[in-house]
Amino acid sequence: MFEFLREYFDYKTLLVTAALVTIGLVSVYSATYDARVPEIFYRQILYAGAGLVALLILAFLPFRLLQFVSYPSYFLSILLLVSVLIIGRTVSGSTSWFNFGAFRLQPSELTKITTALALATYLSRTDVSLKNFRNLLLASGIVLLPVVLIMLQPDVGTAVVYLGMFFPVLYWGGASRITIVALTAPAVVAVASLFGTTPFFLAVILVAIVLYFMRGNRILTVLIFSGSVLIGISVQAIYGGLKPYQQKRIATFINPGADPLGAGYNSLQSKVAIGSGGLAGKGFLQGTQTQLNFIPEQWTDFIFCVPGEEFGFLGSAAVLLLFAVLLFRGVMLASTVKNPYGSFVAVAITATLGIHVVMNIGMALGLLPVIGVPLPFLSYGGSALLAAMAMIGILMNIYTHRKEY
């Protein structure tokens, strides 16, 4: 019996996921304990139960059926993204939700899965090569279509997650190094230019060094370098032409310390909470930052502060270790699965979960701008938890069929 489970059932991934969900429930309970909103915790239990059902269904679905429904589910999710712009509910300035009584559905969370499936279906075709410009354009379109619709909501954080997933898939699919650099260099220089002239020049120098050592086609190299520089200068020029209040918003977005009592408040309080935890933490329900509600709605994007404050460095390290194990297993699965479709799906899902972890914890530690990205399995939210557990179910399905071509 144990041999059967080891061979066909990825119980290790399930156990790691269960541990993260449990930590999430404990953290949500603590964050809502003194805020007098117990319904948040009870809803999260319901979401976890629904997520477990979705996980098991997807884990045991016929593998070929999963691939068969990839395109239809993708187009359905695109229709949902269009619909939410028309009849969706606006929350915190973003029209991203459908209301169903006490519950809400965020289509962009579920579209992460369907986009990964559709992209994998396309890239696994034998007649598709990412060295072909037309194929690369179509693959980019599969990702950029939901990104554009999500930016219209607007939801910058979720859109960035899609892009963060796309680049590892490009690399896995055999895209040339020059292609990946051509797509990333302008974005790197543009973001760096927002931080000032010195970061802009450093980014330009970095791009030049990378292009030099790649020793690619000279004309293409010059075009990539020139385009990156022009985009960086354009961003600086646009920023300089904005009104003072608009510049302040961007400055606070980049540096929360620029507005410590306003937009940067949560990030600064988050660092205080995590730092005050010390080695072993203050104890369950004993975190002063958490229990005194210094961070509004801490159970959402700043949930990492709870284990950080109440269980200290050891608690934070345990969460990071569990995520590291989960992501490592995803990469190993993508490396060993025989089916190209399964390999691409495993990479896309692992990259999606990974970018979530990096961005959310980076926000909590004040290392990245606060752009509203939940921490998988821990942050409160039905759509996010359901999507994350569904992804695990798909990974488990791929594991079961990893030796099939």
SS (H, E, C) 236-256: HHHHHCCCHHHHHHHHHHHCH
pLDDT band at residue 168 under the 50/70/90 scheme: very high
Decide if 103 contacts 93 (C-beta within 8 A): no
pLDDT tens-digit map of 66-110: 999 999 999 999 999 999 999 888 877 778 888 877 678 899 999
pLDDT tens-digit map of 309-367: 899 999 999 999 999 999 999 999 999 999 999 999 999 999 999 999 999 999 888 88
Residue 222 CB-density burial (10 A; 0-12 exposed, 13-18 middle, 19+ buried): exposed
Per-residue pLDDT at 249: 58
pLDDT greater at residue 57 or residue 131: 57
Burial of 88-112, coded b for 16+ CB within 10 Å and e otherwise, reads beeeeebbbbbeeeeebbbbbbbbb
Of 140-144, 230-234, 364-368, the poorest mean pLDDT is in 364-368
**C-alpha span between 311 and 397 (Å, rounded):** 34
The answer to whether position 372 is within a domain reads: yes
Question: CB count, 10 Å around CB of 242?
Answer: 12
Q: What percent of the chain has pLDDT over 90?
A: 50
pLDDT tens-digit map of 244-263: 755 665 666 666 655 565 55
Given a cut of 80, is residue 238 above it in pLDDT?
Answer: no
Over range 102-123, report the average pLDDT.
92
Of 147-151, 165-169, 197-201, 206-210, the poorest mean pLDDT is in 197-201
Per-residue pLDDT at 262: 57
Over range 31-49, report the average pLDDT.
88
Return all residues near 375 (Cβ < 8 A) that are at least 6 apart: 24, 301, 303, 304, 356, 357, 360, 361
- Residue 15: name the closest of 55, 61, 57, 45 by CA: 55
Residue 27 CB-density burial (10 A; 0-12 exposed, 13-18 middle, 19+ buried): buried
**C-alpha span between 10 and 24 (Å, rounded):** 21
Per-residue pLDDT at 214: 84
The answer to whether position 341 is within a domain reads: yes
Per-residue pLDDT at 218: 83
The answer to whether position 229 is within a domain reads: no
Decide if 40 contacts 32 (C-beta within 8 A): yes
Give the phi and the psi of residue 94 in degrees, each rounded to 5.
-120, 125
Per-residue pLDDT at 70: 95
- In total, how many domains does the chain have? 1
Per-residue pLDDT at 4: 63
pTM attached to this predicted model: 0.90
Residue with tokens 């396309």: 122
DSSP 90: E
The answer to whether position 100 is within a domain reads: yes
Per-residue pLDDT at 295: 73
The answer to whether position 117 is within a domain reads: yes
Return all residues near 341 (Cβ < 8 A) that are at least 6 apart: 67, 120, 121, 124
Over range 295-314, report the average pLDDT.
87
Average pLDDT, the chain: 87
Q: Which domain holds residue 17?
A: 2-184+262-400
pLDDT greater at residue 213 or residue 333: 333
Element (H, E) at 98: strand 94-100
Per-residue pLDDT at 7: 74
The answer to whether position 247 is within a domain reads: no
Range of 34-48, 143-157, 268-282, 375-389 with top mean pLDDT: 375-389
The answer to whether position 300 is within a domain reads: yes
The answer to whether position 257 is within a domain reads: no
Cis amide bond preceding 374, omega within 30: no
